[in-house]
Amino acid sequence: MSGAILAATDLSRRFGKIVALDGLSLSMGAGELFGLVGPDGAGKTTALRLLAGQLRPDAGSVRVMARDPVREGDAVRAELGYVPQQFSLYGDLSVQENLDFFGAMFGLNGAEVEARSEELLALTRLKPFRSRRADALSGGMYKKLSVACSLLHRPRVLLLDEPTNGVDPISRRELWQLLQRFAAQGMAVLLSTPYMDEAARCHRVGLLHRGRLVRCGPPGELRHSVGHGCYWLEDLPRQIAEEVLAQTAVLTRVPQGKRYRLLVRRDGEEALAQRVSQAGGRLTPTQPGFEDLFLLFTSEGGDGA
């Protein structure tokens, strides 16, 4: 994996009897925006903490610029920005005081902290709020401050644990623009998110389910890898629709308003189409999305193929 800025090999971690992460392997290059997508409890936070060296793996290894974050912690932390999921700044300190504090922690001198916090405050548009206490910020502003605090030392790798969780849509878009900008400048950005719609904005996506990376690749490729037919079922009353759909070829069905969204095994498409037209309904093919892909994994217990 030459050129990999961040690499994980067979990374596993258990807590008691619960296997939180089971054999995660991934590799990222400079300028890449990687999304680790999965539902709550899939192991996203554990994965990020292991990558950041905040947890020790039971098996496998992490390399950040060819260094081990557990054994060479300080060297790795100097190249790594980490934004934890929970509120982790000091609520009773102001925006500027938080920046000053973390700047000192990263070993910057006063002039460096001043110049870089100016830059980051301008970038995150937090300048007007620099003297506001952190716990008086909105969810989106707080996240932006959190990101700013972890960028003071100009890391080459940025890890963010569910940065858009609890953030309003406008701030969310702003946050994404920032992350895309950092990646364009050559930073390796890895984030986790439970929102499928966000996966499309990443260069590469890893689907995490029950501690395992079940799929990994560019979003477009992943969508096409579904390998099943995706349809809208319309014009059928609920009860009749349920009867028509009660067969093994229908892998997922999600009622959405009066319609159903379906994933159907290729070998059962024809039979289903017949039954639907007999019942007087309409079946329209559509493009599979991440949500379909994900439902497939969760409904089949992670097998997916």
Partner 1 sequence: MSPAGRSLRRTLALSGKELRHIVRDPRTLYLALGMPVVMLFIFGYAVTFDLDRLPLGVLDADRSPESRELVRAFESSGVFQRAWDLSNAAEEAEGHFHRGRIQGALVISPGFGRELGAGREGQVQFLLDGTDGVTAAIALGYAGAIAKAYQLRLLSRLSLELAPPLDARVRLRYNPEARSTIFIVPGLIALILALMMVLLTSLSVAREWERGSLEQLFATPAKRLQILIGKLLPYVALGMLQVLLVLALGTLLFQVPVRGSLLWLLGTALVFISGCVGQGLLISVLTRNQQLATQVAAITALLPTVLLSGFIFPIENMPWPLQALSTIVPARYFISALRGIMLKGNGPAEIWPQLAALLTFALVMLAAANARFQRRLD
- Of the listed pieces 95-103, 185-193, 210-218, 275-283, which binds partner 1 according to CB under 8 A? 95-103
Q: What share of the chain is helix, strand, coil (3-state, %, to 5)?
A: 35, 30, 35
State which of positions 14-73 bind partner 1 (CB under 8 A).
49, 52-56, 70, 73
Q: 10 Å Cβ neighbour count for 172?
A: 19
CB of 106 to partner 1, least distance (A): 5
269 is an interface residue for partner 1 by CB under 8 A: no
78 is an interface residue for partner 1 by CB under 8 A: yes
102 is an interface residue for partner 1 by CB under 8 A: yes
CA-closest candidate to residue 237, choices 225, 229, 245, 249: 245
What gap in Å lies between CA 278 and CA 244, rounded to an integer? Answer: 10
What gap in Å lies between CA 288 and CA 137, rounded to an integer? Answer: 38
CB nearer to partner 1: pick between 49 and 204: 49
CB nearer to partner 1: pick between 166 and 217: 166
74 is an interface residue for partner 1 by CB under 8 A: yes
CB nearer to partner 1: pick between 100 and 198: 100
Q: What distances in angstroms separate CA 8 from CA 229, 241, 292, one per listed residue?
A: 34, 46, 27
What gap in Å lies between CA 27 and CA 21, rounded to an integer? Answer: 16
184 is an interface residue for partner 1 by CB under 8 A: no
Could you list the residues that contact partner 1 (CB under 8 A)?
A: 49, 52-56, 70, 73-74, 77-78, 80-82, 84, 86-93, 97, 100-102, 104-107, 109, 146, 149-150, 153
